[in-house]
Structure 1
Amino acid sequence: MERLINFSRDRHMLCGSCGQRFLVDLDWIDRWQQEQEKCPGCALTCEHEDAPRVTVDPADPALDDDHVARLSWYHTSTHPDWPTKDFDPAADLIAETRQMMGGDQRVAAWAARQRRKALHVGTYEAAMHNMLRRDRDQADHGSQFYLYRVILKPPVVVRADWVIDPSDFVGDVILDNVCPSGINVARYLNYHEDPGGLSLALGRDAIAGVQRVTVPLDDTWDESWVHDAVAALENTTTHIAPTIGKLSRFRRPSSPRVLSGRELGASLARRLPVNLQHQFASAATFVEGDDPVWWARRTSGLLDLIEHPERVLAALDESELHYL
């Protein structure tokens, strides 16, 4: 069962001080994060510990335990075989690394901790947020991403209610901490990806199967925009002018081509909801040495994932369901 995909939907807020619940749009949240808005109940601004935060939409279908296994859930990854069968996090460690980690016994203990981590799935919007964040914040810029549609096993046991995002500072969740014995799935309020949406922490044994497509999809770019962007990049010099000033020796100046690519990416980002603009512009960064055609098609294709999710769902419908 698919949910309506809407990156621009209003969000529910809940104030930790006065308890007021209210509905806002994304522009309000952007202003609030800049201390330009206040709680309508107690006038707290965002810098206060008990200030309003996004909360769950009471009409979210995932709040119904019976719906959880019937809903489609999503995940983006650079791994073409997620979730990896017989996952061995220590398989690629070389002898020197094992020695630095303290020897085989400590490596085995580390690998066991890695295997106890929960898997994460969420809304389509959360999966796109995750991909852009990883492209921006981690060493995945330019990596090939895959979108997975996750089908849960019908007899899953869902933890009662929902919890605040239990992830640690690197985004990890120990499965036993949120899914005690007899529980397969825990719902949590996602603050970082599709803020206000419900995501799931679960084990591999809760997944019946997955469908996968490579993203961006092939041939979904805007040919007119790609043509103009490639022309702009190819007609821009790659010469880097010298930087003058006391800090010049500490800075590597950007070339005119990189600056042109940055503006081209930003021009597309401005078409998106405000909470995606910075992420998209960063993920669409043009790096000196990138092939202009590849970069323009990829950037336009990334935008299409957000503006036309129906194309992605159609591609997933045609993809093979791999049972786990």
Structure 2
Amino acid sequence: MDRPVNFDHDRQMLCQCCGHGWTVTLHWIERWDESKEACPGCGVTCEAEDAPRVTVDPDDAALIDEAVPTLFWYHTSTHDDWPRRSIDPAARLTATTRLMMGGNERVAAWAERQRAKALHVGTYEAAIHNMFRRIDDQADEGQQFYLYRVRLRPDVTVRPDWLIDPSNFVGDVELAEVCPPGVDVARYLNYHEDPGGLSLALGRAAIASTQRVAIPLGSALEGWAIDTAAQIQAATAPTATSAVVSDRPQKRYEPSPQSKRADRLTKAIAESLPANIRRHFWTASAYDDESTPAEWAQRMSGLVQLISSPAAVLEELDRAEITSVAK
């Protein structure tokens, strides 16, 4: 079962100092992070040690244990075979790197810890935001991403209640720490993507099947994309200017007029998007002078579609092949 997709839905805040709870928008959270807002109950700001934080919506369907395996969950990855049956994290390590890590025995222990990590799935909004965040923070620009729709096994055992986001500073979670023996799935409050939404930490065995589409979707160049490509194409060709550094003249190349025009268009589009996605979107949609204006405009249109027209993306998933995930 799919839930309505809304990147801009209201969020619930809870003050750790006075216990006051209230509803806010993403714009409010943006101002809060800049110390421009305070708790309506006690006046504390984000600088306080026990500052208010976003919390779970009491009406979230995922709070009902029996509903968890009936809901569709989502994940984005650069792998076209996620979740992989087996992985060897040490396969690409060079002899020098292995030596720096302390030798083969320590490498083997490190690899085992990597294999023990939990998988993550969440709302559609969280999965799309995760892709933009990875492009921005983990230098995954240029990589092909895939959106997965995940169905859980109907007999999974769900850990009672929910956890505060258990991820470490790089987003990793040890599966055994959140899913002890007899537990297949643990819910946790997502602070970073779709703030306030519930995501799941789970093992591969909890997944029954997946559907996959490559994103952004490949669509025909039409409407906005055609006009945008024409605007960029019409920009003047790049020029070089001279600059003096010390006593020696050096050539300094400014960003191309095409790049500058695309940058202005990107800024206008980003300002219309949910506040928590704008910065990551900016990086993901950066203009590449090696691409044609039409290619860039088509990609930009596809990236915006992921946020503004999720129904079209979900329809593509409806048509995608269902892949069983064997235990």
Q: Give the alignment's TM-score, normalised by structure 1.
A: 0.93
Q: How far did 1:283 drift?
A: 1.3
User: What is residue 226 of structure 1 aligned with on the other side?
Assistant: 225
Q: Map 1:290-301; keep pairs closer than 5 Å.
A: 290-301=291-302
Q: How far did 1:31 drift?
A: 1.8
Q: 1:43 to 1:215 in 2, by over 3 A?
A: same
Task: Give the whole-Å Cα distance in 1 for the aligned partners of 2:20 and 2:295.
Answer: 49
User: What is residue 143 of structure 1 aligned with on the other side?
Assistant: 143
Unaligned runs of 5+ in 2: none
User: What is residue 52 of structure 1 aligned with on the other side?
Assistant: 52
User: What is residue 260 of structure 1 aligned with on the other side?
Assistant: 261
User: What is residue 87 of structure 1 aligned with on the other side?
Assistant: 87
Q: 1:264 to 1:179 in 2, by over 3 A?
A: same
Unaligned runs of 5+ in 1: none
Q: How far did 1:244 drift?
A: 7.1
User: What is residue 200 of structure 1 aligned with on the other side?
Assistant: 200
Instruction: Please say which of residues 30-39 and 296-305 is displaced more in the overlay.
Output: 30-39
Q: How far did 1:240 drift?
A: 4.8
Q: 1:253 to 1:100 in 2, by over 3 A?
A: farther
Task: Give the whole-Å Cα distance in 2 for the aligned partners of 1:23 and 1:276.
Answer: 20
Task: Give the whole-Å Cα distance in 2 for the aligned partners of 1:98 and 1:316.
Answer: 41
Q: How far did 1:294 drift?
A: 1.6
SS at match of 2:158: coil
SS at match of 1:274: coil
Q: How far did 1:232 drift?
A: 2.5
User: What is residue 118 of structure 1 aligned with on the other side?
Assistant: 118
Give the conservation status (yes or no) of the 8 Å contact 1:240–1:253.
yes
Q: Give the alignment's TM-score, normalised by structure 2.
A: 0.92
Task: For 2:225, give the aligned amino acid.
Answer: V
Q: 1:71 to 1:245 in 2, by over 3 A?
A: farther
Task: For 2:101, give the aligned amino acid.
Answer: M
Task: For 2:151, give the aligned amino acid.
Answer: I
Q: 1:5 to 1:173 in 2, by over 3 A?
A: same
Task: Give the whole-Å Cα distance in 1 for the aligned partners of 2:253 and 2:12.
Answer: 43
Task: Give the whole-Å Cα distance in 2 for the aligned partners of 1:191 and 1:174.
Answer: 18
User: Deviations along 1:138-178, whole A, 9 cap, x unmatched?
Assistant: 12112111000011011111111111111111111111111
Q: How far did 1:242 drift?
A: 4.9
Q: Percent identity?
A: 56
Matched, 1:74 2:103: no
Task: Give the whole-Å Cα distance in 1 for the aligned partners of 2:40 and 2:283.
Answer: 33
User: What is residue 181 of structure 1 aligned with on the other side?
Assistant: 181
Q: How many residues matched?
A: 321
Q: How far did 1:20 drift?
A: 0.4
User: What is residue 35 of structure 1 aligned with on the other side?
Assistant: 35
Q: 1:73 to 1:244 in 2, by over 3 A?
A: farther
User: Deviations along 1:169-189, whole A, 9 cap, x unmatched?
Assistant: 111111111111111111000
Q: How far did 1:87 drift?
A: 1.7
Q: How far did 1:212 drift?
A: 0.2
Q: 1:282 to 1:69 in 2, by over 3 A?
A: same
Q: How far did 1:264 drift?
A: 1.6
Task: Give the whole-Å Cα distance in 2 for the aligned partners of 1:166 and 1:174.
Answer: 9
